[in-house]
Chain A
């Protein structure tokens, strides 16, 4: 009876999994409690594993003969070393086990020509790989920790542990576990375990974890995935610059680049932090309390003056935009603005977006050039909107004049009525 159930389940899962999947003696046995205590390995494999879906079977990884054993009632026929069967690898052996196929360019081309084949090479350069191969540390992540074992899903599948938005949670499973991370150090200091907590509060974390935005960076975008390492000082800005290219270029040409290099500051991270990257605000700039510039620049220093000037310039642009926005909105609500002022205001607002990038030059001249252009446009927009609002006054005067004519007509008509009434006899039948 149990065998019948196993056969039924095999057929069922096989039909769900892949029509092209070969008949497998391994799966029949591994789904049957007659043969194994834990049936989840086989159940996992036939319920959507990418290898299974690609037409591969147990023997493609584990060797042996998957066509024999179940019918005969002898599992040794399947797990036959003479037919190439190998016992599952231990943790240290897993990367090489997977790499037998995944590092074989010709083999991988048949299944997914786009998939890279340098994972093992990269892995060896990662902290994980170095620990594993250099120090025989089997606590570090190997392929299966991130990808799963028998239910490996493609990284584009939102259920996968390596799906972009799931990666922070995957890394967290080890890196937020103080017990697991105990003893690991970076630059002589214990590796913290609060990265996930910090990341989840950061602008990137909010976008990835709460808003499901898969354009915002996950752990691997800065640290790499198979070659995961802590980025060094220079590569932090390289990682940020992958997305924030303009800011990176402006910074690289700024006086801060060399100065910070000499002082050993980590570029972007110095102001924006690393895992807990706050949403940027204009208040980071300037000389008011809480400004980041004050952390290095003393009162009356050149940098202090520059910070003060740049902040004032941006504030002026924001104030001009605010006034223009209010005037345009009033004109829109009153129905005297047809769209041109709104369009031009959009151009003025672009200046604010641009200057927030250009501020990374830390050059007041470049900053004020953009803010001045923005202020000029905003003021022109305001004038246009005010002129439109002024039309209401013109209309009121025009309509006031027409009202006088109406009243004049009414008075004349009332006089006419009096004349007509004088000639009329209101008694019934007399007119």
Chain B
């Protein structure tokens, strides 16, 4: 104990541990009937860390060339001890991560957590969502299997619809006019260097703002407290809230383990550029609602529409003045629910309806 105290003292003299401990002991999180949604953000952070760790492990063996990528993943899965598990965790955690990021965003939206003074937290969060999708899109190609190759072909094709610079964007993404080994190499660069760099900065800012401003309490709860219908309750972050977080993280890890064991993430067939594309090629599930929408509207209009909608979504706090005044905004709630319904319905149609 004396040793521990000495070590504690050593660090305390350098990083002011006493103050940190005091801070942790006094840090609280609002506690009410919607508190469950607060754990979703922590889940996203946890899954992001899982991705970073498993991603680094995969990097030890992965080779980002068209000639060696598939074989290196095959090697990871068959020769590297527990390589198959690490890859399966990375793949499932990636999908769970994107799912939870969507859940986090919509829960924050419906609780109007973006309202003043948390506009920057929302903006960084929305940008992190786009980055998460970018991670998914770029990572999907890396095993260089046929499905990923075709999905990347479909996905990158939409870049042409960007007004004026579409062709340039397409060639920038692909490293040429077609999806080739050059695309694989640059997607690898995006996936392990560019996107993580930006994500770390945005995530740092996002967490800093959450820390500085604390969790937002929904307007309805605030009103009940102000009207004296409810008491303002708070839960200590450490250990009560953190323990609950760990329960969620453990369950998520259990789910990933369960999926990895029951449905090991398959390797598929090696990409063959000369092989004709089979019908009904789809992008990853989180792009399907957009992909399906573009079947019903002119592609250029659709892509432009999604770009505008995405922009508005990022800047949403500046449009919702009612919520900023602490008033309940039913219209925005309806818009949020409609957006969720639209995304779910179009994703289902994308999987059920016959493809092109």
Contact = CB atoms under 8 A, between A and B. Distances in A.
Range, interface on chain A: 20 to 34
A268 B306 CA distance: 67
Contacts of B12: none
17 contacts: A332-B74, A333-B268, A335-B78, A335-B87, A336-B264, A337-B74, A339-B74, A395-B85, A395-B264, A406-B253, A406-B257, A413-B243, A417-B240, A427-B231, A427-B232, A427-B234, A431-B236
Contact of A414 (B85, B247, B254, B258): B247
B67 to A, nearest CB: 14
A335 B77 contact: yes
B236 to A, nearest CB: 6
B234 A336 contact: no
B79 A338 contact: yes
A416 B73 CA distance: 41
A392 B79 contact: no
B158 interface: no
A427 B74 CA distance: 55
A213 to B, nearest CB: 18
B265 interface: yes
Contacts of A388: 78
Interface in B238-271: 239-240, 243-244, 246-247, 250-251, 253-254, 257-258, 260-262, 264-269
Nearest to A400: B261
A306 to B, nearest CB: 41
Interface residues of B, number: 39
B31 interface: yes
A410 B78 contact: no
Given A335-B264, A416-B243, A426-B233, 16 more contacts: A335-B84, A335-B87, A336-B77, A337-B78, A338-B79, A339-B71, A395-B264, A403-B257, A406-B254, A406-B257, A409-B250, A413-B247, A420-B239, A421-B240, A426-B235, A431-B28
The 9 closest A-B pairs by CB, nearest first: A338-B78, A399-B261, A335-B267, A335-B77, A426-B233, A406-B254, A396-B261, A428-B232, A417-B243
Interface in A376-431: 388, 392, 395-396, 398-400, 402-403, 406-407, 409-410, 413-414, 416-417, 420-421, 424, 426-428, 431
A135 B122 CA distance: 100
A395 B250 contact: no
A413 B251 CA distance: 11
B246 A395 contact: no
A334 interface: yes
A334 B79 CA distance: 14
A396 B244 contact: no
Nearest to A405: B254
B236 A336 contact: no
Interface string B1-35: 00000000000000000000000000010010000
A171 to B, nearest CB: 34
A337 B268 CA distance: 11
A335 B265 CA distance: 8
Interface of B: 28, 31, 71, 73-75, 77-79, 84-85, 87, 231-236, 239-240, 243-244, 246-247, 250-251, 253-254, 257-258, 260-262, 264-269
A406 B247 CA distance: 10
A264 B240 CA distance: 99
B257 A399 contact: yes
Given A335-B78, A336-B84, A396 B262 contact: yes
Given A399-B257, A421-B240, A338 B250 contact: no
A413 B78 contact: no
Contacts of B28: 428, 431
Interface of A is mostly: helix
Given A335-B74, A336-B84, A392 B254 contact: no
Contact of A399 (B79, B251, B258): B258
Nearest to A396: B261
Contacts of A431: 28, 234, 236
Nearest to B232: A428
Nearest to B236: A431
Nearest to B251: A410
A426 B31 contact: yes
Contacts of B257: 399, 402-403, 406
B246 A334 contact: no
A424 B235 contact: yes
Contacts of A400: 261
Contacts of A417: 240, 243-244, 247
B250 A410 contact: yes
Contacts of B247: 410, 413-414, 417
Contacts of B239: 420
A336 B253 CA distance: 23
B250 A334 contact: no
A7 to B, nearest CB: 48
B264 A334 contact: yes
B168 to A, nearest CB: 37
B279 to A, nearest CB: 20
A431 to B, nearest CB: 6
Contacts of A424: 235-236, 240
B74 A426 contact: no
In the complex, which of the residues A333, A399, A417 has the most CB atoms of chain B within 10 Å of its own CB atom? Answer: A399
Contacts of B31: 426
B200 to A, nearest CB: 28
Nearest to A331: B78
Contacts of A427: 231-234
B78 to A, nearest CB: 3
Given A335-B84, A336-B77, A409-B250, A399 B260 contact: yes
B261 A334 contact: no
A275 B31 CA distance: 89
Contacts of B233: 426-428
A385 to B, nearest CB: 12
Nearest to B145: A333
Contacts of A413: 243, 246-247, 250
A402 B256 CA distance: 12
A424 B239 CA distance: 10
Contacts of B244: 417
